[in-house]
Amino acid sequence: MPCLGGRKKKRTSVHQATLSEKPNDPAVARMKQDYHELKSKNEEHLDVIARQSAELANLKKKLDTSTPTDATTTESMLAEMEERNRETLSSLNQKEALLKQKEKEIEELIQVMKEKEEDGGLQSILAEKDELLQSKEEQIKALQLKWKAERAELVKPALEEVSSQLDQLKKTNEDAQKRLADKEGELAELRSELTRRERVPANRGGKPNEVQERQKRLNRLTVDLENDRLMIQKLEELNQQLEAQKKQHEAVLQTHAQAIAEKDRELSEHQQSLSDLKVSHQQAIRTLEGSLQTSMTELKQHHEQDLLQLKQRLGHAEKRAKSDMNDEVEKLLREFEQSEHDHTQQLAHLQQSHREQLTVMKQDQQAEIRHHIQKRNSVILPDTAPTSTTNTTATTTLVAPLRKTGGPAGKVLRWPAMGTLNDQPELTPKDPHAIHIYVSSVSSNPTVKRNQDTIQTLLTSSHIQYQVIDVARREPALQHMRRQTNGRSLPLPLIFIGGHYRGQLDDLIKAQESDQLNDFLSLSSSSPPSSPKERRPSSTSSSTSSTPVTTPIASRVHSSIKSDYNEDEFLLKELEKELASNHGLNLDF
């Protein structure tokens, strides 16, 4: 049966450190306090046992040195020893009661731990329970070992002491019996000698003193013999008492052995329950670890799948961005090619329309010439001189307007479309006041297009004659523009005066707002405002060089049948010159 008062061995288990790390647990703190109290009580009991052992040793010495007259003292000591043994047994019973109470507390703690396990089900709680169970198991084992050791220490010395006392009493009894036998033999010899001497006659009798001495000696021996008999009787009584005490001790030991067997059985059952509980805890821990491992594996797989999906989405996004960029570039290229194709078609259509116009104009001119020739042949011309003078004057009056309607090149008659197709503005014109607007017909920037329209609108509204030069269609114009701007990258449109760079749209607007437009364009205030010029079409359908010029109204000369011959002749000559010049035109698109 385990004893809670035993000394506790030093544990090297890992659970001790775990328990020491949890001082806040009230159950563990209470168990530690009970352990310290039981330890102190155990030390007190050990001191009592040591003191009793010392007293027994002293009693043993006294028995060895005592005389038969000290039998009463021995009996009192034996009674005292029995009393102390009873006290020891009562203390052991108290310890057993404490052990039972402690086992109940352990069972309650196990029940509480089971409830916590059912409620929580966490790995930390399971580990804590396992540590507590293992520590309790170790405590029970240690207490059992200590109880056995204490029982052996308490019972064995008492039995050995009683056995030694019995042996000593037996030896003393044997010695007394031997002495008694010797005394009886000596007494018998004395009695026989006394009887023999009494039979001797009186005359042979010895000395009276010798007889008296022998009588005294006989009396003394008789007294000693009686004393020895009394002592033997007392020794036998003591022997019987010791035998009874021995039987009583054996009965007590038997009952203790039965109690120990019962406690061992209960302890084995308790250990079995603890082992079952430990197995269940380990199984629960393994199940929890398996579930945690499974959940971690699932989370890892889910994370890897998410990463793979993100990478795929990123790759698709990159491919989509690249494809979108390529599609945009292809779209721009297609638009550019389409604009080029449309421009080519428009140029071809414009060429065809110009050819048709030239053919129609040529046919009209030839028909008109034939008509005039027929008229000339049918007219009867007078031969008077005044008529010639009048015709000369009329011719002069006719020529002057015709020459005024032409451009600065000095042509007599210019048809509407021919001047625009044939005229290419010079980059460095002879006229230092010639205004050139440098633009780009292929620019897709809406700001550039808006500025080009704005500057042409301003010049047109101010009745200022200008010419438009497309740098996208004329490489020399682009090189001339770069030379004039010293290689600077200036946004179009640009204003050139006499072939030299003058400014931009902002400069033109400032000059107009400050009423210095003529100074900006280097024009004299007396210059007559020219008629507004036609601006070129959109960038996709514009020609290589759109030169807005004034379009004269070619009024046909309806001469009457009575008109002068010289006038008709002069008109025919002019028409022939115009047709000759029209035959030499080359259209550049």
Q: Report the chain's mean pLDDT, rounded to a whole number.
A: 69
Name the amino acid, one letter, at 202.
A
pLDDT at position 125 is 66
Q: Which two tokens stand for residue 399?
A: 């020529």
Residue 393 within a domain: no
Over residues 59-111, the pLDDT tens digits come to 667 666 654 545 565 566 666 766 776 777 677 677 777 777 777 777 777 77
**Residue found under tokens 């009192």:** 76
Q: What would the mean pLDDT of 336-349 be, rounded to a whole number? A: 83
Name the region of 121 (left: φ>0; alpha: ψ -120 to 50; beta: rest).
left
pLDDT at position 431 is 81
Residue 235's Cβ-count burial label (10 Å; 0-12, 13-18, 19+) is: buried
Specify the CATH number for the domain of residue 506: 3.40.30.10
Give 576 or 491, the one with higher predicted confidence: 491
Same domain for 147 and 283?
Answer: yes
3-class state of residue 530 by DSSP: coil
Q: What would the mean pLDDT of 333-344 be, rounded to a whole number? A: 83
User: In this model, does residue 439 exceed pLDDT 80?
Assistant: yes
User: In this model, does residue 365 exceed pLDDT 50?
Assistant: yes
Q: Residue 68 has what DSSP assignment?
A: G
Buried b (16+ CB within 10 A) or exposed e, 266-279: ebeebeeebeebee
Residue 412 within a domain: no
Q: Which of 548, 565, 581 is the last residue of a domain?
A: 548
Dist. CA 27–CA 129, nearest whole Å: 12
pLDDT at position 549 is 35
Same domain for 299 and 432?
Answer: no
Helix (H) or strand (E) holding 439: strand 435-439
Look up the domain containing 300 and give its range. Answer: 14-304
Q: What would the mean pLDDT of 125-148 be, rounded to a whole number? A: 77
User: In this model, does residue 520 exceed pLDDT 60?
Assistant: yes
Among 424-428, 554-558, 570-574, which stretch is predicted with the lowest mean pLDDT? 554-558
φ, ψ for residue 470 (rounded to 5)? Answer: -95, 110
Which of 309-313, 391-395, 442-446 is modeled with the greatest confidence?
Answer: 309-313
pLDDT at position 340 is 81
Residue 419 within a domain: no
pLDDT category, 35, cuts 50, 70, 90? low
Over residues 180-213, the pLDDT tens digits come to 777 777 777 777 766 766 665 544 444 567 767 7
Q: What would the mean pLDDT of 505-519 be, rounded to a whole number? A: 84
Domains in the chain, number: 2
Residue 131 within a domain: yes
3-class state of residue 6 by DSSP: coil
Over residues 550-569, the pLDDT tens digits come to 333 333 333 344 444 455 66
Classify strands 435-439 and 500-503 as parallel, antiparallel or unpaired.
unpaired
Q: What would the mean pLDDT of 573-582 be, rounded to a whole number? A: 66
CB 542 within 8 A of CB 529: no
Residue 136 within a domain: yes
CB 128 within 8 A of CB 22: yes
Q: What would the mean pLDDT of 527-534 be, rounded to a whole number? A: 35
Same domain for 83 and 225?
Answer: yes
Same domain for 39 and 173?
Answer: yes
Among 113-117, 275-279, 535-539, which stretch is predicted with the lowest mean pLDDT? 535-539
Q: Residue 206 has what DSSP assignment?
A: -
Over residues 441-492, the pLDDT tens digits come to 877 788 888 888 888 888 888 888 888 888 888 888 888 888 888 878 788 8
User: In this model, does residue 266 exceed pLDDT 70?
Assistant: yes
Dist. CA 49–CA 52, nearest whole Å: 5
CB 169 within 8 A of CB 242: yes
Dist. CA 20–CA 39, nearest whole Å: 18
**Residue found under tokens 């031997």:** 178
CB 498 within 8 A of CB 429: yes
CB 414 within 8 A of CB 405: yes
Q: Which of 258, 289, 304 is the last residue of a domain?
A: 304
Residue 441 within a domain: yes
Which residue, 531, 535, 552, 551, is CA-closest to 463? Answer: 531
Q: Which of 281, 304, 327 is the last residue of a domain?
A: 304
Same domain for 211 and 68?
Answer: yes
3-state secondary structure 122-165: CHHHHHHHHHHHHHHHHHHHHHHHHHHHHHHHHHHHHHHHHHHH
Residue 85 within a domain: yes
Residue 434 within a domain: yes
**Residue found under tokens 């004057």:** 393
Q: Name 533's Cβ contacts closer than 8 Å, sequence gap at least 6.
A: 460, 465, 466, 467, 548, 549, 550
User: In this model, does residue 434 exceed pLDDT 80?
Assistant: yes
pLDDT at position 70 is 53
